Amino acid sequence: MGARVGSGSGAVGLGGAAGQELGRHRPRGGALAGATWTVEQVRVGGPPLGRERRLEHGPGVGMAIERGKHAPDPRDPLRGVARPGRAVGSAATMGRLITIEGIDGAGKSTLAEGLLPAISSRGHDVSLLREPGGVRAAERVRELVKDPGMTIGARTEALLYAAARAQLVEEALEPLLADGKWVLLDRFVDSSLAYQGAGRELGVEAVRAINEFATGGLRADRTLWLALPPDIARERTGGRGQPADRLEREEATFFERIHAAYDALWRAEPERVRRIDATGAPEQVLTASLAALSDLL
């Protein structure tokens, strides 16, 4: 990760490789050590403001920090105090966040059930959570967004998923990771980028910005994308014998856009996102997924 100061603009740009755990392995919310200036503006996404410079954190995501002119105010009652909802602990003590992505029918739940004992057997304390859900408030949101009898606008849908995610991060993910535990998570930010950003055509970058705020910049250490053609996925979900939920009732073109978005995310961040062929048997998918996690395990 590098830093540079723009000449004449007073802006500091921070950059790193796409998907390289930006925003997670840092003392989040604490004061910058040795700083003699105040942070006045942090911006994610969007065009540059004035003459400030920005560096990319993956496809279309940037962050810029405006440097102030004055030293930190010693009268600030929160000076040097960690803000609520921020992870504690150093990078050395942080756990691992492994996310599983893909369209409905790709086999995410089956893979998660197989990965849980496999990771645990390798000496890691691991928890399995799902999205939306994982904590009580987020589970209530899950009921709402999946209800086929509910009318929910595209932007409302994106905000509801982000709200559920924010609660999950604060209440479960950050505490678990700070304690050095591993978390296996069925869906995370990539789902919103694909489903609401591409599927609902709200724009991937617009949805990304919402989720940067919701997660506080939390990133997955590794994402397993279960790649499955949409037509095969629809056959699988149709064979479950269960009523389709609100999202599963969408047209085929909706899922084609989602599949294309996942493919683009994989190509943009191949170190974080690993493509797993989900057309094979569950045992084959599990073997391929463990191979994709071998460097972390």
Q: What is the pLDDT of residues 182-202, one digit of tens each?
A: 999 999 999 999 999 999 999
Q: What is the pLDDT of residue 244?
A: 83
Nearest to 195 by CA among 157, 231, 244: 157
Most confident listed range (20-29, 67-76, 249-258): 249-258
Report the relative pairing of strands 222-227 and 273-277 from DSSP bridges.
parallel
Q: What is the pLDDT of residue 50?
A: 37
- Assess whether pLDDT exceeds 60 at residue 167: yes
Q: What is the pLDDT of residue 42?
A: 39
Average pLDDT in the 18-30 region?
40
Domains assigned to the chain: 1-86 (no CATH), 91-292 (3.40.50.300)
Q: What is the pLDDT of residue 238?
A: 81
Confidence of residue 64 (pLDDT cuts 50, 70, 90): very low
Confidence of residue 246 (pLDDT cuts 50, 70, 90): confident
Q: What is the pLDDT of residue 93?
A: 52
Q: What is the pLDDT of residue 6?
A: 45
- Asked whether the bond before 47 is cis by omega within 30 degrees of 0, the reply is no
Average pLDDT in the 31-48 region?
40
- Assess whether pLDDT exceeds 70 at residue 36: no
**98-157 per-position pLDDT tens digit:** 999 999 999 999 999 999 999 999 999 999 999 999 999 999 999 999 999 999 999 999
CA-CA distances (angstroms) from residue 228 to 18, 102, 103, 225? Answer: 24, 8, 8, 9
Rg (CA), the chain: 20
